Amino acid sequence: MDANFREKLTTPVVERVLIIGMGLIGSSIARAVKARGVVGELIACDHSTGVCARVRELEIADDVTNDASAAAARADVIIFAAPVGANEQLAREIGAHIRPGAIVSDTGSVKGDVIAAIEPHLPGGVHLVPAHPVAGTEYSGPDAGFATLFNNRWCILTPPAGTDETAIATMRSFWEALGSNIEIMSAEHHDLVLAITSHVPHLIAYNIVGTADDLEAVTQSEVIKFSAGGFRDFTRIAASDPTMWRDVFLHNKAAVLEMLGRFTEDLIALQRQIRHNDGDGLFELFTRTRAIRRSIIEQGQETAAPDFGRQDHDVKLQE
């Protein structure tokens, strides 16, 4: 963690922020803004009364409500942090209550469809600055969040052409205050980039875990027992929140199908190399992919520590 992140701000970036949806991401934002003094007042909203009660217990927001419209009327920045499939209904419900000059943002893993769902319901003078913090774990719910989740991670902003520059600058400052690095791109490009770096990886992880579960020749108990050979890592990704991911695939359909097509084409070529004993072709690919891993570690998106499913690596043996 860099030193900057540890210091508390002296002046808040935004006066009053409303987060709608207090799962892993929403509750992590709440913890981070509170820890750093990024906002004057934080209002947390969730449609579940159980989640609201838990957020009150956790004391990670100044105010907790399940009345999104009333809260929206008071906020300077409104962040949609529910699964992306909920956005349209939510925007329809609260849109008319949002004050002119307020900023509407979100945290969705999909951007084109999110803009299409929210923008039509916003009154004139409300600024839409969609955001995607590229961070997360396989856990969900308000207890899963933590304040450092966004630190040294990328947050992509995809403001539609013509968006107010001050509104963009505010959201940039907001995410920078949470420790994130900012990238600005079009929603369309975002959806393509994330299809390959996130959506298709999740899809194939879900798929292979499903395939293994369906086999007759290999029992489920064998799959679990011998998962340390690689399968284990896929199950982690395939344990991510089902609602969130269903919505991602339904709302980024075109880009996912495009990237999945490329993946399948390449996989069929690889299958052919195996069938024809093309060891050199396999070796060439396996060497090339190793170099990419190295770049990811060098750029701090991953630690170099070996991962083998437990943390007793350093336990010393008694001599």
Rule CB under 8 A: which of 92-121 touch a copy of itself? 109
Contact 111, 187 (CB under 8 A): yes
Q: How many CB atoms lie within 10 A of CB 35?
A: 16
- Total residues in contact with a copy of itself, by rule CB under 8 A: 127
| Phi-psi group of 7: left, alpha or beta (phi > 0 → left; psi -120 to 50 → alpha; rest → beta) | beta
The minimum distance between CB 38 and a copy of itself, in angstroms, equals 12
Instruction: Please list the residues that pair with 258 across neighbouring strands.
Output: none
> In angstroms, what is the minimal distance from the CB of 227 to a copy of itself?
5
Cβ neighbours of 106 (radius 10 Å):
29
User: Where does this chain touch a copy of itself (CB under 8 A) — which range of 52-60, 64-72, 164-172, 307-315?
Assistant: 307-315
CA 142/CA 213 separation, integer angstroms: 30
Question: Considering the rule CB under 8 A, would residue 169 count as an interface residue with a copy of itself?
Answer: no
Q: How far is the CB of 212 from a copy of itself (least distance, A)?
A: 5
Structural tokens at position 264: 């399948």
Residues numbered 138-167 forming contacts with a copy of itself, rule: CB under 8 A: 138-139, 144, 146-149, 151-154, 156
Interface with a copy of itself (CB under 8 A), residue from 30, 43, 135, 171? 135
- Window 24 to 83, contacts with a copy of itself (CB under 8 A): 35-36
Question: What are the CA-CA distances from residue 206 to residues 103, 245, 259 (Å)?
Answer: 36, 10, 16
CB of 153 to a copy of itself, least distance (A): 6
**Only segment of 11-19, 95-103, 170-178, 275-283 that touches a copy of itself (CB under 8 A):** 275-283
42 in Cβ contact with 210 (< 8 Å): no
Secondary structure, 3-state, 68-123 = HHHHHCCCCEEEECCCHHHHHHHHHHHHHHCCCCCEEEECCCCCHHHHHHHHHHCC
Q: Between residue 175 and residue 214, which ones bind a copy of itself under the rule CB under 8 A?
A: 183, 189, 192-194, 196-214
Nearer to a copy of itself, 161 or 292 (CB): 292
Distance of closest approach, residue 297 Cβ to a copy of itself, in angstroms: 9
Binding mask 212-251 for a copy of itself (x = CB under 8 A): xxxx-xx-x-xxxxxxxxxxxxxxxxxxx-xx-xxx-xx-
CA-based nearest residue to 34, from 72, 74, 61: 61
What tokens appear for 159 in the block?
A: 């403001």
For CA atoms 85, 153, 71, 49, the dihedral sign is positive
Q: Whose Cβ is closer to a copy of itself: residue 80's or residue 249's?
A: 249
Long-range pairs for 313-319 at CB < 8 Å and ≥24 separation? none
CB of 151 to a copy of itself, least distance (A): 8
Q: Which is nearer to a copy of itself, 31 or 127 (CB)?
A: 31
Interface stretch with a copy of itself, choices 57-65, 121-129, 136-144, 159-167 (CB under 8 A): 136-144
Q: Which residue has the tokens 């399940």?
A: 66
